[in-house]
Chain A
Amino acid sequence: MIEDPGQVIEPAQVFRVRGLTKVYGMGAAQVQALAGVDLDLYEGELAVLLGPSGSGKTTLLNNLGGLDVPTAGELLYRGTDLTSADEDDLTTFRRERIGFIFQFYNLIPSLTARENVALITEIARDPMPAEEALEMVQLGARLDHFPAQLSGGEQQRVAIARAIAKRPEVLLCDEPTGALDVRTGIVVLEAIQQVNRELGTLTVVITHNAVMADIADRVIYLSDGRVHHVRKNTTRVPASTLNW
């Protein structure tokens, strides 16, 4: 066990992952994306997934978020088994618990910033007003712009607002800064950090940039589809002070 169970105040466990395996394809073309991941994630923490390209980060995140189902192993969300959930259960799971942020923003091009966020409020149970979510990412002034009228960083911040508007319990971010330049990337990380701090949402951020790992409570190193090791940061560095 890499985790140390003897912690002083144990925050509530959100995910429990044991021996998680994911195999793509058949026969000779088989790829083992995850080869037995063991991991626990806790309420309120900000975890960074670090690892070389192809190490299985995205696959792990997608399994956590109910976008993909594992081939074998144990995957519990607050004690509920996600491996046996059907498509409808997973949709409900995503709708109620998970906020996603993607490398390529994936906004609806035909909706304005405000509407992209408000869209979520149509399906969420206790959403925050779109304006408030956008205010949190400092986009209060660009409410009625369409995606095509926003810069990459702004689009990504709309995506964050969209993800948090439903007050998710988990925020999953797959290389949120991957398509952005450094300065813009920092602004986006600040927004994510701020959400984690103010809303106490369990936040998992994928990156392959080791410098960014400093903003996390814990850094989980993946290689070849396994957790290689976990590093605990004693202090979280504010994103604004990062530099690379």
Chain B
Amino acid sequence: MISYLDRKLWRDLRRLKGQAIAVIMVMACGLAMMTMARSLIYSLDSTRREYYQSNRFADVFDALKRAPNSLVSRIRQLPGVAVAQSGISVQVTLDIPGLEEPATGNVRSVPDVGMPVLNQLFLRSGRWPAPGRRREVLVSEAFAQANHLHPGDSLAMLMNGKRETVRVAGIALSPEFIFEARPGAALPDNRTYGIFWMRRKEVASAFDLDGAFNYLSLTLAPGASERQVIAELDRLLRPYGGLGAFGRADHPSHVRVSDEIKILRTISIGFPVVFLSVAAFMINAVLSRLLALQRDQIAILKAFGFSDRQIVVHYLKFALVMVAGGTVLGGIGGILLGHRLVLMYHRFFRFPDLEFRPDRPAFPMALLVCAFAAFTGVFNAVRRAARLPPAEAMRPEPPANYRPALVERTGIGYLLSHTFRIAVRNIERKPMQALFTVAGLALATGILIVPNAFRDGVTQVLDYQWDTVQRQDVGVGLVEPDSIEVEHLFERLPGVISVEPERRAFVRISFGNRRRQLAIEGLPSKGLLNRVIDESNHQIQLPPHGLVVSAKLAEVLGARPGDLLTVEVLEGRRPTREVRLAGLAEDFAGMAAYMDIHALNRLLEEGDIISGASFTVDRAKWDAFMRALKNIPRVSWVAVKNSLRENFRQTTAASIGLIEKIYMAFAIIVALGVVYNNARISLTERARELATLRVIGFSRREVGTVLITELVILALIAVPLGLLLGTGFAAEIVKAVNTETVRLPLVLTRANYAFAVMVVAVASAVSALLVLRKVNHLDLVGALKAPE
């Protein structure tokens, strides 16, 4: 049985529905963002954890040149090692029909019989390569999808210089390749890079690794120290060309998923807090207004004997209805958005089954947060009203006190029109209402800045990478470093305009007790193709001695130009040298170190040797060039700039486009809601005043102007603040993204700002117009009757 007080509640709510909806929508935005981000964190995190667990993802990894299989038992005996698994990992070049550039791949071995113990594969379709059946592979799902490969298809693979045709037995996924990208690449290019699994005997014989391994994974015993195990392992594998063991924290795929979770964490707290504060205030404003209108009703209820508590509860129920509405809508919105975004993650992250998983604890938490925000917002106002002695409450509210506004007290008051005076005095009399309207509009403006700043940042990185740094059309890597003779072979390929050699060598660079493993790139001192660029966008001429490294690497090492770095070469003769840090390069993906190619070769104590080259190619002879390249057995990988670029552009456009749409929807809702609410409250509060103006001869437009001037002033304050706020948001997120794998510059364009201003202006105007229509229906005669 619904009490009469509750009936009153519903009828009052019906009259307030516009404002209640505005509040609910703003609240829902905050909650949707919170539940979306938290659910995505939960989905990624728990799915990854379960995947790791069920497929036994290793804890420590190491690549080496070649070690006898007998070594594995010694590794297993190292203190702290639980399970160790040896295998083979090699680079191959692929010839995919329909793909103009050669693709490259990483072939991993699987045991000849049975399945891997660690890093177990998930078979999506097809079957395992039959034992004893030759030339069968499993293909990673991302690569298979990008190239439309199905079980039963075949493809050509250059294995250690020999062209082989292999059949796709099945499509698989591995916990080692949730993020599947060429090492060091910030974005995946699944068309040109894939992972393959082959029975071990076959890989071993193709690469002369019979009875040996070159890749190791292991899990730690409970309580074991990862650091110690890594140190032991490094010592043990050193003679076998160990490239340095690393834990999950340095595992490229693992790190990428973790970075994404980090970004989501930032989003899941920052935005919702602001949204909810604005919503809380909106509830406060709506209810305060309602209480003022219902003073006499409260008095009558009390005169009839309703207790203060009953009255407080009655009005708090208004807030509760809005909170409940916001929570339900926000929850549903968060789930729907989460579902969409999870699909976007499918482009980047490969799980056997990445489903959207709602973070259930997030919902009661959201309800609590919202209810808390709403109740703190209104509790005092409600209690004050309930405490009013009935006799006093029956009298109308005393007239509002005004005084000249601050701007007028500065002495320029005489310049102001009356409309303007009414507006500024109203703003000053209700500073909190003004503040939160400004906050809401600023927030709406601010969140629009973020996705576009992201997009502009990515665009700039890509342009920078491919217009400024890498001016070659094609980059090529060799299976093994080779003599300079190869360069002459390259020069004679059809269509080649220019070639520049490159030498890569795996090293460990340390400074103090910090160290990182990476490849030093040896380049011509003042190359025209592959260039090293400094912070102020000038090319760095690589010095005859010394090292130029990514600014990020120097930061990670804590080194400054002039410092002596220890370079421990992890291949060939493995010399260790002190090299001076000569300069800092500006780059945005991974971490790099550069040296003059001759200096590097001297350091390596090997003669003139190259491991790859950069080309510019005559477009007219492009096809011939590509065909020739595919037939050079020593080529291990090929990167074609334009197709990489186009592929990245599409990937980022799709994902940022979606996020932009979501943020834009939120911004529009907030702007609409905040302006509508503010204007409606002003309208009810001042209906009498505005009707009086109409009676004494002001036209609708003039009266509308009085109402709108206030909003325009608030918007003019809010928009610049919003641009600042958005800049702050963007800077904060860029900082969260600033990792060793990817970095983004903070790019804020005028177009970005202009777009944000425009969207907020249009949304506010629409909202204001909705309210202005009500000015036409002001009750002129009613305004002359006794005040409310």
Q: Which residues of A contact B (CB under 8 A)?
A: 58, 62, 65, 67-68, 87-88, 91-92, 94-96, 98-100, 102-104, 106-112, 115, 118-120, 122-124, 146-148, 162-163, 166, 174
Contact = CB atoms under 8 A, between A and B. Distances in A.
Contacts of A148: 398-402
B779 to A, nearest CB: 10
B399 A91 contact: no
Nearest to A174: B784
A94 B781 contact: no
Given A106-B692, A107-B692, 13 more contacts: A91-B698, A92-B697, A98-B697, A100-B696, A104-B785, A106-B688, A108-B689, A119-B418, A123-B698, A146-B403, A148-B399, A162-B696, A174-B784
B550 to A, nearest CB: 61
Q: Across the A-B interface, give the 3 residue pairs with the lowest CB-CB distance, nearest first.
A: A95-B697, A106-B692, A110-B425
Interface string B382-411: 000000000000000011111110000000
Nearest to B690: A108
B418 A122 contact: yes
B781 A68 contact: yes
B695 A67 contact: yes
B557 to A, nearest CB: 64
Contacts of A96: 697
B695 A100 contact: yes
A127 to B, nearest CB: 11
Contacts of B401: 146, 148
Contacts of B402: 109-111, 146, 148
B695 A104 contact: no
Nearest to A162: B696
Contact of A106 (B429, B699, B702, B784): B784
B695 A163 contact: no
Contacts, number: 95
A122 B697 CA distance: 11
A110 B694 contact: no
B783 interface: yes
A95 B692 CA distance: 12
B489 interface: no
B406 to A, nearest CB: 14
B784 A103 contact: yes
B780 interface: yes
27 contacts: A65-B695, A67-B781, A68-B780, A88-B699, A91-B697, A91-B699, A94-B696, A95-B697, A95-B698, A96-B697, A99-B696, A104-B785, A104-B787, A106-B783, A108-B689, A110-B402, A110-B421, A110-B689, A111-B418, A111-B421, A119-B418, A120-B697, A123-B702, A146-B401, A148-B399, A148-B400, A148-B401
Contacts of A120: 696-697
A129 to B, nearest CB: 15
Interface string B672-708: 0000000000000000110011111111101000000
A104 B418 contact: no
Interface string B757-782: 00000000000000000000000110
Contacts of A67: 695, 780-781, 784
Nearest to B426: A110
B417 interface: yes
B751 interface: no
A111 B400 CA distance: 11
A97 B781 CA distance: 18
B786 interface: yes
Contacts of B785: 104
B186 interface: no
Contacts of B426: 110
Contacts of B692: 102, 106-108
A122 B689 CA distance: 17
B96 interface: no
Contacts of B404: 112
A99 B697 CA distance: 9
Contacts of B425: 110-111
Contacts of A62: 781, 784
Contacts of A146: 401-403
A100 B785 CA distance: 13
A59 to B, nearest CB: 9
Identify the interface centre among A119, A123, A148: most chain B CB within 10 Å of its CB: A119
Contact of A108 (B422, B429, B784): B422
A119 B698 CA distance: 10
Contacts of A104: 784-787
Contact of A91 (B400, B418, B694): B694
A103 B786 contact: yes
Contacts of B781: 58, 62, 67-68
A96 B781 CA distance: 19
Nearest to A98: B697
A124 B403 CA distance: 26
A146 B426 CA distance: 13
Contacts of A147: 399
A67 B697 CA distance: 10
A163 B404 CA distance: 24
A119 B416 CA distance: 12
A189 B563 CA distance: 95
Nearest to B403: A146
A164 to B, nearest CB: 12
Nearest to B688: A106
Nearest to A106: B692
A92 B697 CA distance: 7
Contacts of B780: 67-68
A46 B398 CA distance: 34
A112 B521 CA distance: 77
Contacts of A92: 697
B399 A111 contact: no
A106 B697 CA distance: 14
B699 A115 contact: no
Contacts of A163: 696
Identify the interface centre among A92, A106, A118, A120: most chain B CB within 10 Å of its CB: A106
Contact of A110 (B417, B422, B698): B422
B784 to A, nearest CB: 5
A111 B422 contact: yes
A85 to B, nearest CB: 14
